[in-house]
Amino acid sequence: MKTFSKILLLTGVMLTSTAFAQERTRVQSDALPRATMMDIYVIGGNQAAVQFKMSKDGGIQQLPLAQFKYFYMFEPEDFQSAMESYQNDNFREAKAKFGKVKTRLAAMQGLPDNYSQEAALYELDSAIRLLDWASVKTLCDSFPKQVPLIADEAQELEVNQLFAKLADNSYDALLADTQKMLADKKKWTLPQLGRIYYILGVAQAAKNQPEALDSLAVPVVASHGGEKELAASAILTSLDILLKNDKVVTFMKSVPSSSTVAQKSKAPLELKEAAALAYFYKNILCPDRVLNPKYDALLAYYTTPSARQSKPATPSAPAPAKK
């Protein structure tokens, strides 16, 4: 076993003597006094060397990672707390907590399955859920990459990094990137596909491309509504597009919301679509949020499923008599 000073020299890890994070880790190594499974307290390291203490109060030791037959880092309590906030959809709190975990455990970023990198992933995801593109950009730029992510996480990061370009309004780049990624749609999980389409839709909307509505519809369904923030944002962006649609504007002018149901039923498809989305947002997706009053007028053009079902069947025209 090497001495601590040598470890520092070998690994270049900078540790302050007073603020070592020490995380319980179950290990097994012939180089340790007990060759069976045991818990140690890891304070940092990388593939070349792991720094640890045998007990919380013990001295710092080190071993190359390869000398551990088994190496399982337990979930830190602050990570678990951040995760609880995340699972409660409290993304602001989660982002802050994950950020702290990431920093606190920075010395472990060279170790496999380390919670600093894990926290960084969740911190980034929380920023996306908060639609905080500036944070996403910053987090992407500083994402810890000392150890490679597993394939699934790497793919998720590939998608999430796209959001950073929204911070710069780099719509042309996003149009190109997303179209390239969508060349192989089946590569992505449904939630990932929803995110790619969300970005594409936002970029298309910014460029006044009519396909934006189609793209923005995907995130509403891809995670089955699970990523409510993106779904809600996609709907509101769609509503903004539809509110500017010539047919919608003309019809709403000529047939105001106070008109009869029969008159309003002749609304163009675009207005019917907008009304349905506004209703869905207000009553089903986000009943706990206040719908911006600018969309209220749309609701007057909506026919609820109940009203549609209660509409009496119209008898078909009689067949003409033989002349």
Least Å distance between CB 275 and other proteins? Answer: 8
Tell me whether residue 69 or residue 145 sits nearer to other proteins (CB atom): 69
What is the spatial distance between Cα 133 and Cα 126, in angstroms, rounded to a whole number? 11
Least Å distance between CB 167 and other proteins? Answer: 26
Amino acid letter at 88? N
Residues 6+ apart with CB under 8 A from 165: 137, 173, 174, 177, 199
- Give me the residue label for tokens 């163009």: 268
93 touches other proteins by CB under 8 A: no
- Exactly one of 225, 229, 236, 300 binds other proteins (CB under 8 A); that residue is 225
**Per-position b or e across 112-145, b if 16+ CB within 10 A of its CB:** eebbbbbbbbbbbbbbbbeebbebbbebbeebbe
Two structure tokens written together for 91: 């993304």
- Give me the residue label for tokens 């780049």: 173
88 touches other proteins by CB under 8 A: yes
Residue 99, H or E segment: helix 91-104
Rg (CA), the chain: 28
Q: Which of residues 104-163 bind other proteins (CB under 8 A)?
A: 113, 150-152
Least Å distance between CB 23 and other proteins? Answer: 10
Q: Which of residues 8-37 bind other proteins (CB under 8 A)?
A: 26
Q: Which of residues 250-279 bind other proteins (CB under 8 A)?
A: 265-266, 269, 272-273, 275-277, 279
Q: Which of residues 184-213 bind other proteins (CB under 8 A)?
A: 185-186, 189-191, 193, 213
Least Å distance between CB 26 and other proteins? Answer: 7
Q: Do residues 130 and 91 lie in contact, with contact meaning Cβ atoms separated by under 8 Å?
A: yes
Residues within the interface to other proteins (CB under 8 A)? 26, 70, 72, 74-77, 80, 83-84, 87-89, 113, 150-152, 185-186, 189-191, 193, 213-214, 217-218, 220-226, 265-266, 269, 272-273, 275-277, 279-280, 283-285, 287-288, 302-306, 308-310, 314, 316-317
